[in-house]
Structure 1
């Protein structure tokens, strides 16, 4: 953040070459993590911005049908509900049983489906969704676009875009396991995609600035990173993200290494939760099926979060589900301290 301030103070509008070089570092880092190319990675302030840009680029002339699940994050769910109010037909597939979710999504695809949107890890339970390439293939076969929300997978468990079907959009960001902080998220755009987002900003076509009075068709940049770009943004976020990406790489914090740490930590939490009063663990105990946090159904989850916060433990809640997400720098003693605090809250109120 100090570097961002100093560049802004010293260079004013000339700072943008430095800002965009940091953005390029972030793109390269993301691409290496997910088996993509840097020019396929568009950046945005949050995943809602990127999902909205994706939706605005769909070919609504060939249909008004979307396929999704009942387990999507709040911004996507809200956006799709609003589209449904505006006349889009949205198919909401139940997430359980998760073993058949991909097949059921595939079966829900119709000839007039224009988009399929689903999570790779469920944000409510930390359950990994298997076989999503099957759903992607069904959607692509009818000409629909596919977007997978990988926020709870990025830097938490290994995956590649090829494993998800190759020709798919993928979105995630840095405010969870990647440790970047707020304001920097990404969208992988499949190569060769020629969608023309209606929700578009001037960063999407720098060449078009040469003739600002032109009234011809709106132009887009040569690759996904430009085609799905927005506009002027607060640059501190990419300075933070680039610095953390460099740190992770310098420290050997590869995705497999982070995954091994996460599995050990979540296994310890699952063991410690056994016997706690009023707790129902929702997260799979099998390692391959488990994401990077542990979800516990508990009465008054929001009150439990407040009780933990008063004891120096940070957690969050979604409805009646308490989510415990250990960071890679926590020690076993820290995890035990969190479990002790949870027991104290549940027993003592």
Structure 2
């Protein structure tokens, strides 16, 4: 990797000149260097236009938008699911846009726990101790709902280094418990950026007669997946990070075709069979697609920006986005190694084990993050010592990465972080 790069701004500029992946002119960037797209992507002109389109439909059509909108609001979640399916490697009817990520974890974990009970499988769920907390909150809640003690039924694989999870430790957890029903892992760890091998974990789960589910929050939109071919049973993700669909944007989910027709754990009228939905039957009939896992009426205004963003992703291509993301994070780590010896990299170096952001570690990570913001560089802090910086390939280039590392150098040399108070909670 290192022999591909050189120090100096000119090299970064040459790299930018040689690529046509970045489409910065289609985004509104609120800061000088916006490196927080793994938390909240910025607004694009495409998302703005698709939202305005729905507002126009609401204004001009009123309730007729449910049938006469383009696409019709009644099928909005399914149409977006069809657009998303190639990005995650699924068939069109296996993906739907619905709910929030946490609600999707609730309904899918609950659904597969119920299957486990019917099929006589174990009802323990294997997770890991570096997961984003909401995953555990939702799973523990679903276990309690079924009178299963979360302390006994949630099997937590511990990290050996506080940064990564080893596959052989997941295997050891499965070997140690013969009553596991579900393995639920992230695609990318939110703190360190470790990328998991979804196929190998799926195969491992299936070998132990368990279902395999994944949280793709930190990979959807920047890493291509092949969920159907890999045999993944179910997955969830959000759209406000790399897919830039807005704060609190509606989430997405995937359910393998083998389970279509299943009654979801959180059944709601929007997941009812569309042909008979407005017959208002009191008995629930699930849609025979991933659409069954919708609950309440789709929030069209929350979903609309995603329609525009997908035009950008389709124009660039998810494979090219991944290639550019890897080059940018390679370059980021190279510069940190060369220019910031007092910092360490918490992100795996191998491309096959790395997501789209870089975890820069320093004992003053929180105050350094605040100093970066003061200088117009927006990243975020994750305890205990990580400055997360994300060169999202749609609007961040090599020169941006070079500038960010040079500003880090200045902040550390000048001890600029000392003007900021120690962390006392709050949003980071």
TM-score (norm 2): 0.73
Cα 1:26–1:207 change in 2 (3 A) is: closer
Counterpart for residue 108 of structure 1: 173
Equivalent residue number for residue 136 of structure 2:
77
Deviation at residue 31 of structure 1 after TM alignment: 0.9
For 2:226 and 2:275, how far apart are their aligned partners in 1? 32
Q: 1:270 corresponds to which residue?
A: 333
Report the more deviating stretch, 240-249 or 19-28: 19-28
Q: What are the ranges of 5 or more consecutive residues in structure 1 without an aligned counterpart?
A: none
Query: Do residues 338 (structure 1) and 404 (structure 2) align?
Result: yes
> What does residue range 276-315 of structure 1 map to in structure 2 within 5 Å?
276=340, 278-315=342-379
Q: 1:186 aligns with which of 239, 244, 252?
A: 252
Q: Is the 8 A contact 2:270 2:297 kept in 1?
A: yes
Shift of 1:201: 1.4
* Alignment pair present for 1:224 and 2:302: no
Distance 1:169 1:290 in 2: 22
Partner of 1:120: 187
8 Å Cα contact 2:234/2:255 also seen in 1: yes
Q: Report the Cα offset of residue 262 of structure 1.
A: 0.8
Q: Which moved more, 1:58-67 or 1:136-145?
A: 136-145
Q: Matched residue of 2:378: which SS?
A: coil
Q: Is the 8 A contact 1:41 1:188 kept in 2?
A: yes
Q: Deviations over 1:249-303 (max 9, x none)?
A: 2x3x112211121112112211221242642211122222221110112223232
Rounded to whole Å, the distance in 1 between the matches of 2:257 and 2:264 is 16
- Paired residue total: 342
Q: Judge conservation of contact 1:115–1:146 (CA < 8 Å) in 2.
A: yes
Give the structure 1 partner of residue 313 of structure 2: 248
Structure 1 residues 42, 79: CA separation in 2 closer, same or farther (over 3 Å shift)? same
Equivalent pair of 2:109/2:142 in contact (CA under 8 Å): no
- Residues 174 and 162 (structure 1 numbering): CA distance in 2 closer, same or farther, change over 3 Å? same
Distance 1:99 1:244, change over 3 A: closer
Q: Do 2:359 and 2:389's aligned partners in 1 also have CA atoms closer than 8 Å? A: yes
Q: Distance in 2 between matches of 1:14 and 1:234?
A: 16
Deviation at 1:161, TM superposition (A): 1.1
Distance 1:236 1:344, change over 3 A: farther
Deviations 1:34-88 (A, max 9, x none): 2211211122242111111112212263443111111211211332355567613
Quick check: 1:35–1:161 contact (8 Å CA) kept in 2?
A: yes
